Amino acid sequence: MSDIAPPDASRKRITIIKAGRHWAFKHFFEDRGIFQELADYYDRDGYRFVLRTPGERILVQKLLERRGFEVTLAESTRGYAVKLSRQSRYSALLRDSLAMIETDLWRIFLMKDREAAQQALRLGAKMIEVDVQFKV
Protein backbone atom coordinates (compact mmCIF):
# COMPACT_ATOMS: atom_id res chain seq x y z
CA MET A 1 0.00 0.00 0.00
CA SER A 2 1.31 3.44 -0.98
CA ASP A 3 1.75 6.13 1.65
CA ILE A 4 1.05 8.83 -0.94
CA ALA A 5 -2.51 10.08 -0.73
CA PRO A 6 -4.45 10.43 -3.99
CA PRO A 7 -5.09 13.99 -5.17
CA ASP A 8 -7.99 15.64 -3.35
CA ALA A 9 -10.68 16.30 -5.96
CA SER A 10 -12.02 19.21 -3.90
CA ARG A 11 -8.70 21.12 -4.07
CA LYS A 12 -8.21 23.53 -6.94
CA ARG A 13 -5.32 22.72 -9.21
CA ILE A 14 -2.81 25.07 -10.80
CA THR A 15 -0.10 24.04 -13.25
CA ILE A 16 2.99 26.23 -13.38
CA ILE A 17 4.74 25.67 -16.72
CA LYS A 18 8.32 26.46 -17.64
CA ALA A 19 8.10 28.47 -20.86
CA GLY A 20 11.46 29.61 -22.10
CA ARG A 21 13.45 31.01 -19.17
CA HIS A 22 10.43 31.81 -17.03
CA TRP A 23 7.55 30.00 -15.37
CA ALA A 24 3.92 30.96 -16.01
CA PHE A 25 0.43 30.01 -14.94
CA LYS A 26 -3.12 31.19 -15.43
CA HIS A 27 -5.91 31.05 -12.91
CA PHE A 28 -8.94 33.13 -11.99
CA PHE A 29 -8.90 33.63 -8.22
CA GLU A 30 -12.34 34.01 -6.70
CA ASP A 31 -10.64 35.18 -3.50
CA ARG A 32 -9.43 38.70 -4.26
CA GLY A 33 -6.97 38.45 -1.37
CA ILE A 34 -4.99 35.70 -3.11
CA PHE A 35 -4.87 37.74 -6.29
CA GLN A 36 -3.58 40.73 -4.32
CA GLU A 37 -0.80 38.60 -2.83
CA LEU A 38 0.25 37.59 -6.35
CA ALA A 39 -0.38 40.94 -8.08
CA ASP A 40 3.35 41.69 -8.49
CA TYR A 41 3.64 38.66 -10.80
CA TYR A 42 0.55 39.37 -12.90
CA ASP A 43 1.10 40.22 -16.57
CA ARG A 44 -2.00 42.25 -17.46
CA ASP A 45 -1.21 42.16 -21.19
CA GLY A 46 -1.02 38.36 -21.25
CA TYR A 47 -3.65 37.67 -18.55
CA ARG A 48 -1.23 35.34 -16.77
CA PHE A 49 1.19 35.20 -13.89
CA VAL A 50 4.90 35.18 -14.82
CA LEU A 51 7.64 34.08 -12.43
CA ARG A 52 11.03 35.25 -13.61
CA THR A 53 13.35 33.63 -11.06
CA PRO A 54 13.51 30.27 -9.27
CA GLY A 55 12.97 32.13 -6.00
CA GLU A 56 9.73 33.68 -7.27
CA ARG A 57 8.49 30.27 -8.43
CA ILE A 58 9.22 28.67 -5.06
CA LEU A 59 7.63 31.55 -3.15
CA VAL A 60 4.45 31.51 -5.27
CA GLN A 61 4.21 27.71 -5.17
CA LYS A 62 4.39 27.72 -1.36
CA LEU A 63 1.85 30.54 -1.10
CA LEU A 64 -0.59 28.67 -3.36
CA GLU A 65 -0.14 25.42 -1.44
CA ARG A 66 -0.75 27.21 1.88
CA ARG A 67 -3.95 28.62 0.36
CA GLY A 68 -5.15 25.09 -0.45
CA PHE A 69 -4.15 24.72 -4.09
CA GLU A 70 -2.59 21.61 -5.56
CA VAL A 71 0.36 22.87 -7.61
CA THR A 72 1.88 20.91 -10.48
CA LEU A 73 5.22 21.97 -11.96
CA ALA A 74 5.76 21.25 -15.65
CA GLU A 75 9.41 21.48 -16.71
CA SER A 76 8.44 21.38 -20.40
CA THR A 77 5.66 22.60 -22.66
CA ARG A 78 5.28 19.07 -24.09
CA GLY A 79 1.71 17.98 -23.58
CA TYR A 80 0.53 21.58 -23.20
CA ALA A 81 1.24 23.03 -26.67
CA VAL A 82 -1.34 22.69 -29.44
CA LYS A 83 -1.81 24.12 -32.90
CA LEU A 84 -4.90 25.13 -34.81
CA SER A 85 -5.09 26.17 -38.45
CA ARG A 86 -5.28 29.92 -39.01
CA GLN A 87 -8.65 29.45 -40.73
CA SER A 88 -10.17 27.86 -37.60
CA ARG A 89 -12.07 29.71 -34.92
CA TYR A 90 -9.84 30.01 -31.90
CA SER A 91 -11.59 32.20 -29.33
CA ALA A 92 -12.56 29.14 -27.23
CA LEU A 93 -8.85 28.31 -26.80
CA LEU A 94 -7.74 31.80 -25.77
CA ARG A 95 -9.41 31.74 -22.36
CA ASP A 96 -7.39 28.72 -21.23
CA SER A 97 -4.10 29.53 -22.95
CA LEU A 98 -0.99 31.05 -21.43
CA ALA A 99 0.35 32.32 -24.74
CA MET A 100 -0.26 32.24 -28.46
CA ILE A 101 2.02 32.68 -31.45
CA GLU A 102 1.05 32.76 -35.11
CA THR A 103 2.73 31.42 -38.22
CA ASP A 104 1.57 31.61 -41.83
CA LEU A 105 -0.44 28.40 -41.38
CA TRP A 106 -1.00 27.90 -37.65
CA ARG A 107 -1.94 29.49 -34.36
CA ILE A 108 0.07 27.79 -31.64
CA PHE A 109 -1.20 27.88 -28.07
CA LEU A 110 0.44 27.02 -24.78
CA MET A 111 -2.50 25.77 -22.72
CA LYS A 112 -2.71 26.39 -18.97
CA ASP A 113 -2.98 22.72 -17.97
CA ARG A 114 -3.52 19.20 -19.35
CA GLU A 115 -7.30 19.50 -19.08
CA ALA A 116 -7.26 22.65 -21.23
CA ALA A 117 -4.98 20.92 -23.77
CA GLN A 118 -7.39 17.97 -23.96
CA GLN A 119 -10.31 20.36 -24.46
CA ALA A 120 -8.39 22.07 -27.29
CA LEU A 121 -7.94 18.67 -28.96
CA ARG A 122 -11.69 18.07 -28.71
CA LEU A 123 -12.18 21.43 -30.45
CA GLY A 124 -9.99 20.37 -33.38
CA ALA A 125 -6.49 21.41 -32.34
CA LYS A 126 -3.51 19.11 -32.80
CA MET A 127 -0.87 18.40 -30.15
CA ILE A 128 2.66 19.63 -30.83
CA GLU A 129 5.21 17.21 -29.42
CA VAL A 130 8.08 19.66 -29.10
CA ASP A 131 9.14 22.20 -26.53
CA VAL A 132 7.80 25.55 -27.63
CA GLN A 133 9.78 28.53 -26.40
CA PHE A 134 7.32 31.30 -25.73
CA LYS A 135 8.57 34.70 -24.64
CA VAL A 136 6.58 35.47 -21.52
CA atoms within 13 A on the CB side of 105: 2
DSSP summary character for residue 86: T
**16, 71 contact by CB (below 8 A):** yes
- CATH architecture of the domain 13-74 equals 3-Layer(aba) Sandwich (3.40)
Question: Quick one: pLDDT at residue 130?
Answer: 72
Q: Where are the domains of the chain?
A: 13-74, 81-127
pLDDT class of 6 with cuts at 50, 70, 90: very low
115 pLDDT above the threshold of 70: yes
8 pLDDT above the threshold of 90: no
